[in-house]
């Protein structure tokens, strides 16, 4: 049932003639100077897209639509059940707000290439700040508001921002979270200091401002002069977004301007079937890649209306929250993490609240961020009567690698699969030696270079880490860190990470980072953190610790201290609640902890003890303890 084209034809063309294919996609964007050099690959295979094109992403997302006569159309709808507020911005109003805030940033010394860290809750000012930075040709780095001071400090030190933009507080279901103490603490930990901090005071909590450094947003905006868009090269960075890797130091994924704009516009049409004027809602947070791509940039670049939702799927105030927003704002496509639907289902198993809402405008439900389990998929389809589209992507790619293309050529979906590779992505399933595996066999999922437009161009300040972490495992390929397989029809099934990354409620976290925090406790000799299956959040971290000889601490007391440390250093979103004292950890003879084996044991899966194990008895010991834990 082809809509606008044939999937195979479009997909093959995108791989055979990437330059022709993406030049065509780029032609519909309002460049200042249209690119003539479409693709350049360096010796490592790293692609630069549209290198001689000149543009400004905020111009393409706002001014262009105003100039084209869409100024009165809604650009952004803010819906906040936690404050009982709503606000609506037309393209004209959003453009003006962004231009004025850009003027304020310029007056604070921000110019092209400078970094601005944004640590904000889900308020329109967060979007305004991002677009204002883009307007100046500067580089934003948004830090998720749920991260603790230490995480914020790591990002500030790495990005070295000229200005930090924050708010007095975020609002969770049952409490107000003051941000300013976290910012102050982060800045104490930092060796680099921004010249100024712009603070949005919210009525729920007034922040104390530090004289000489902090500025009250409302006061300084009053005298700001609007700033014009600053032209940038397509390859200049638009933003840095930090994501969890295998070590304690997050990786700053760098996204360019030109490839990003082209890829996101293509995705809005092809993956999401969205046209200008239609309403798109990504129920995520601007601190994550989903928020960057599909709350802020893609809907605006495509001339759609985006919904910015400050609330949860449940408890704000109930499990009808999503359906209320969809009905009220006439959302055509909803995009959320599977966890959100598991939470709704838990509270409203028969979907009685869904049935009380008119969902006629809703045409699609998209999910990503973690595996969509078949039971949630079936529940959602059965009760919503809408197509449920699982699609797979990562912070690094910025848009979907595999999906069912609703705007091009929709195919039947298969539970457990994120469907077919999206045009531009040459997906390969490889064995350890880099050879392609046949259908049905599980291996590492890699993408043959060049990556399409929109994907990361480097790791901020550390190109070596980019090459070593992503491009060195299989020459000529980007390694995704996910394992999986293809079936006979080419459908891709993502089976989970092959590294130390876990997904907790759709949030990407590093077990390696958690291990570093646990290991810094005086009583801990050694530890491992693994992801164990959880019915609601997909995975939860579990710490396994070995005590130092002579450590005089009860296991329960140690657990409490370790839980508090992770909460303090990473934040409550790590959902680290359990640390189990074990006598030994199963290791190879060379001393490597067998984390995969531990994961299988903890999840009650079948496992084979590898022949390289040092002491087979250590597995039985830990298995007995983990069995007790599962039965608790």
Of 274, 431, 298, residue with least CA distance to 361: 274
Tell me, residue by residue from 163 to 202, as one string, x for binding to ligand COA by CB under 6 A and - for no binding.
Answer: -------x-x----x-------------------------
Query: Considering all CA atoms of the chain, what is the largest pairwise distance in Å, rounded to the nearest integer?
Result: 74
Residue length, the chain? 632
Neighbours of 338 (CB within 10 A): 24
CA angle (340 as vertex; 390, 146 as ends), nearest 5: 115
The footprint of ligand AMP on residues 497-526 (CB under 6 A) is 497, 503, 508
Contacts of the segment 347-350: beta carbons below 8 A, 24+ positions apart? 347/314, 347/318, 347/319, 348/319, 348/320, 350/383
Distance of CA 515 to the CA centre of its chain: 22
Q: How far is the CB of 26 from ligand COA (least distance, A)?
A: 27
Residue 394 found at the interface with ligand AMP (CB under 6 A): yes
Buried b (16+ CB within 10 A) or exposed e, 209-242: beeeebbbbeebbeebebbebbebbbbbbbbbbb
Q: How far is the CB of 149 from ligand COA (least distance, A)?
A: 12
Residue 168 contact among ligand COA, ligand AMP, none, beta carbon within 5 to 8 Å by kind: none
Residue 284 found at the interface with ligand COA (CB under 6 A): yes
**Near ligand AMP by CB under 6 A, which window of 15-23, 296-304, 367-375, 428-436?**
367-375
CA distance linking residue 43 with residue 447, whole number of Å: 17
CA distance linking residue 593 with residue 575, whole number of Å: 23
Q: How far is the CB of 285 from ligand AMP (least distance, A)?
A: 11
Residue 145 contact among ligand COA, ligand AMP, none, beta carbon within 5 to 8 Å by kind: ligand COA
Q: Toward ligand COA, which CB reaches closer, 116 or 120? A: 120
Among 145, 443, 469, 586, binds ligand COA (CB under 6 A): 145
Residue 343 contact among ligand AMP, ligand COA, none, beta carbon within 5 to 8 Å by kind: ligand COA
Show the tokens assigned to 130.
């991002």
Q: Toward ligand AMP, which CB reaches closer, 50 or 280? A: 280
Of 284, 304, 306, residue with least CA distance to 296: 306
Q: How far is the CB of 180 from ligand COA (least distance, A)?
A: 14
Cβ–Cβ under 8 Å, residues 50 and 234: yes
The footprint of ligand AMP on residues 224-243 (CB under 6 A) is 243
Residue 314 contact among ligand COA, ligand AMP, none, beta carbon within 5 to 8 Å by kind: ligand COA
Q: Toward ligand AMP, which CB reaches closer, 50 or 399? A: 399
Residue 14 contact among ligand COA, ligand AMP, none, beta carbon within 5 to 8 Å by kind: none
Residue 250 found at the interface with ligand AMP (CB under 6 A): no
Q: How far is the CB of 122 from ligand COA (least distance, A)?
A: 8
Task: State the DSSP code for 623.
Answer: H
CA distance linking residue 265 with residue 304, whole number of Å: 11
CA angle (575 as vertex; 570, 581 as ends), nearest 5: 95
CA distance linking residue 23 with residue 50, whole number of Å: 8
Q: Toward ligand AMP, which CB reaches closer, 230 or 367? A: 367
Tell me, residue by residue from 514 to 543, as one string, x for binding to ligand COA by CB under 6 A and - for no binding.
Answer: ----------------------x-------
Neighbours of 135 (CB within 10 A): 28
Q: Whose structure tokens read 């802020």?
A: 296
Tell me, residue by residue from 236 to 275, as one string, x for binding to ligand COA by CB under 6 A and - for no binding.
Answer: ----------------------------------------
Among 35, 250, 313, 450, binds ligand COA (CB under 6 A): 313
The footprint of ligand COA on residues 459-518 (CB under 6 A) is 505-507
Among 391, 428, 521, 595, binds ligand AMP (CB under 6 A): 391
Cβ–Cβ under 8 Å, residues 51 and 234: yes
Among 65, 115, 180, 371, binds ligand AMP (CB under 6 A): 371
Show the tokens assigned to 105.
């940033």
Binding site for ligand AMP (CB under 6 A): 243, 289, 368-371, 390-395, 418, 481-482, 494, 497, 503, 508
């Amino acid at each position: 049932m082809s809509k606008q084209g044939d999937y195979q034809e479009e997909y093959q063309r995108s791989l055979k003639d990437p330059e022709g294919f993406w030049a065509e996609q780029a032609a519909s964007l309002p460049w200042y100077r249209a690119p003539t050099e479409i693709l350049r690959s360096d010796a490592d295979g790293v692609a630069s897209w549209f290198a001689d094109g000149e543009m400004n992403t905020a111009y393409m997302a706002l001014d262009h639509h105003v100039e084209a006569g869409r100024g009165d159309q809604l650009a952004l709808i803010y819906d906040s059940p936690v404050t009982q507020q709503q606000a609506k911005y037309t393209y004209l109003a959003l453009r003006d707000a962004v231009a004025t805030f850009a003027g304020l940033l310029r007056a604070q010394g921000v110019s092209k290439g400078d970094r601005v860290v944004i640590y904000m809750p889900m308020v329109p000012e967060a979007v305004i700040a991002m677009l204002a930075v883009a307007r100046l040709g500067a580089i934003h780095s948004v830090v998720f508001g749920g991260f603790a001071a230490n995480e914020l400090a790591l990002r500030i030190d790495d990005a070295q921002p000229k200005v930090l933009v924050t708010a007095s507080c975020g609002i969770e279901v049952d409490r107000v979270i003051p941000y300013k103490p976290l910012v102050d603490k982060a800045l104490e930990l930092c060796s680099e200091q921004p010249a100024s901090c712009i603070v949005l005071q919210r009525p729920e909590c007034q922040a104390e401002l530090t004289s000489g450094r902090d500025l009250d947003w409302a006061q300084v905006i009053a005298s700001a002069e609007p700033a014009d868009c600053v032209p940038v090269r397509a390859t200049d960075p638009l933003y840095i977004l930090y994501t969890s890797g295998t070590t304690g130091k997050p990786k700053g994924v760098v996204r360019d301007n030109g490839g990003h704009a082209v890829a996101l516009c293509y995705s809005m049409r092809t993956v999401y079937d969205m046209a200008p004027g239609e309403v798109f809602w990504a129920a995520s947070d601007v601190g994550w890649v989903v928020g960057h791509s599909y709350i802020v940039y893609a809907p605006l670049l495509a001339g759609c209306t985006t919904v910015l939702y400050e609330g949860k799927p449940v408890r704000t105030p109930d499990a009808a929250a999503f359906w209320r927003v969809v009905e009220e704002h006439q959302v055509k496509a909803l995009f959320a993490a599977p966890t959100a639907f598991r939470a709704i289902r838990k509270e409203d198993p028969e979907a009685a609240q869904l049935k009380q809402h008119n969902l006629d405008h809703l045409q699609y439900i998209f999910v990503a961020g973690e595996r969509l389990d078949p039971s949630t998929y079936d529940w959602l389809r059965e009760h919503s009567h809408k197509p449920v589209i699982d699609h797979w992507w990562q912070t690094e790619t910025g848009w979907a690698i595999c999906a069912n293309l609703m705007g091009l050529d929709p195919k039947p979906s298969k539970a457990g699969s994120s469907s077919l590779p999206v045009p531009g992505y040459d997906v390969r399933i490889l064995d350890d030696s880099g050879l392609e595996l046949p259908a049905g066999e599980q291996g590492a999922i890699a993408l043959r270079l060049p990556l399409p437009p929109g994907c990361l161009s480097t790791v901020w300040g550390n190109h070596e880490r980019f090459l070593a972490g992503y491009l060195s495992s299989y020459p000529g390929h980007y390694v995704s860190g996910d394992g999986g397989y293809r079936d006979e029809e080419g459908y891709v099934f993502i089976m989970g990470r092959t590294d130390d990354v876990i997904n907790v409620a759709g949030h990407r976290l590093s077990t390696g980072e958690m291990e570093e925090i646990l290991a810094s406790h005086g009583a801990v000799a050694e530890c491992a953190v693994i992801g164990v299956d959880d019915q609601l959040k997909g995975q939860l971290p579990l710490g396994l610790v070995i005590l130092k000889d002579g450590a005089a601490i009860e296991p329960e007391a140690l657990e409490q201290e370790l839980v508090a440390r992770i909460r303090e250093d990473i934040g409550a979103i790590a959902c680290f609640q359990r640390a189990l004292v074990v006598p030994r950890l199963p290791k190879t003879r060379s001393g490597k902890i067998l984390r995969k084996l531990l994961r299988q044991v903890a999840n009650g899966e079948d496992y084979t003890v590898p022949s390289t194990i040092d002491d087979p008895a250590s597995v039985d010991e830990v298995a007995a303890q983990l069995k007790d834990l599962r039965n608790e």
